[in-house]
Structure 1
Amino acid sequence: MNNRWNEIIYKLWSPIYDKLFNSGKFLEARKKIFQEVKFVENQKILFVGVGTGADLELISHEKLNITAIDFSNEMLDKAKNKFKDSSIQFFKMDAQNMSFKDNQFDVVVGSLVLSVVPDADKCLKEMIRVLKPNGKIIIFDKFSPKGKKLSPLKKAIRPLIRLLGTDIGLSFETLYKKKTKRVYL
């Protein structure tokens, strides 16, 4: 995967993305995460890889200071259209090389982004870099099960799935071990 390929693949995914990843088990998991998260008024919140804005639909965003980024113009346009009357700021930006200053956000949300960027480690480090000291990172993604190897079938189809825009073999534990000195999960 590389950024150019992601632009192409998510241009193709954008018309049907919500039907697949904002429904069923993905929607149930998203709802559970955002029911448990208590955002505070005026917190600076960054949604990394906002996609079509599926996560934003699950929170009361009216009194929150939200910035949302994505690398795909088409996905970002869908999110912007859903929230055109809101104060949410949307930017096209590479999650692996954000243009934000260090220590800028109280909360950083990475939802289904680490498994799609070319370099998940670099993306996580960027998320940590823009996070204020004692801030919180919320990560929702498709990680391989902790302490388990991929099944032979998943190993076999992993290259094809990566070609379709996501990695089903990403290990959170491996990413976490590579973390910088300041992570609050």
Structure 2
Amino acid sequence: MNNSWNKVIYKIWSPIYDKIFNSYLFLNARRRIFEEISFNSRERVLFVGVGTGADLELIKHFDLEITAIDLSTDMLKKAMEKYENTSITFLEMDAQNMEFNNESFDYIVGSLVLSVVPDANKCFQEMIRVLKQDGKIIIFDKFISKNKQLSLPKKLLRPFIRVLGTDIGLRFEDLYRRHDKNLKIVEDQSIMMNGMYRKIIICK
């Protein structure tokens, strides 16, 4: 995967994305991600890889300072159309090279983005960099199950699925291990598909 290809594939995905990834199982999963999250008034929240804005409808955003970024112009356009009468700031931006100062946000939300970007470690590093001290990162994504190896069928499918714009072979523990001295996992739970999709909350 690379940024150029991701722009192409998510241009294709954009008209149907919500029908697949914001309905049924995925909608229920997204609801579970945010059901116990309590944002405080005026907190600064960054949505990394906001896509069509599927997560935005699940939070009360009228008293928050929300910034939402995505590399795909077409996906971002869908989100902007949904929330054109809000104070949300939408920016076309690479999650692996964010144009924000260090420690800019109280919360960072990354839904189905680490498994999409070409370099998940760079994206995760950037999330950490722009997060304030004592801030939290909320992750909803698919990872290899803990203490398991990628199955042979998934190994065979992985290159083809990457062409569709996502990676089924990412291990969260490998990302976290590089930064665990500065971070703390406060929640890590299975959300769907027997632990393949997880909700992870990290405190800096």
| TM tier, smaller | over 0.9
Q: How does 1:5-84 map to 2 (within 5 A)?
A: 5-84=5-84
Residue equivalent to 1:126? 126
1:169 aligns with 2:169: yes
Give the alignment's TM-score, normalised by structure 2: 0.89
Which residues of structure 1 form unaligned runs of 5+? Answer: none
* Uncovered stretches (5+) of structure 2, i.e. residues with no partner: 185-201
Q: For 2:149 and 2:9, how far apart are their aligned partners in 1?
A: 27
Question: Where do 4+ consecutive residues of structure 1 move more than 4 Å?
Answer: none
Alpha-carbon distance between aligned partners in 1 of 2:144 and 2:13, rounded to the nearest angstrom? 23
Report the Cα offset of residue 182 of structure 1.
Answer: 2.4
Q: Distance in 2 between matches of 1:102 and 1:8?
A: 30
Distance 1:19 1:144 in 2: 25
- Separation in 1, partners of 2:72, 2:181: 30
Partner of 1:94 in structure 2? Answer: 94
2:51 maps to a residue whose letter is G
What is residue 137 of structure 2 aligned with on the other side? 137
Deviation at 1:25, TM superposition (A): 1.6
1:101-116 alignment, distance < 5 Å: 101-116=101-116
Distance in 1 between the 2:111 and 2:183 partners?
A: 17
Amino acid at match of 1:81: E
CA RMSD of aligned residues (A): 0.9
Percent identity (aligned): 63
Q: Is the 8 Å Cα contact of residues 125 and 180 (structure 1) preserved in structure 2?
A: no
Q: Which has the higher strand share?
A: 2
1:173 to partner: Cα distance:
0.5
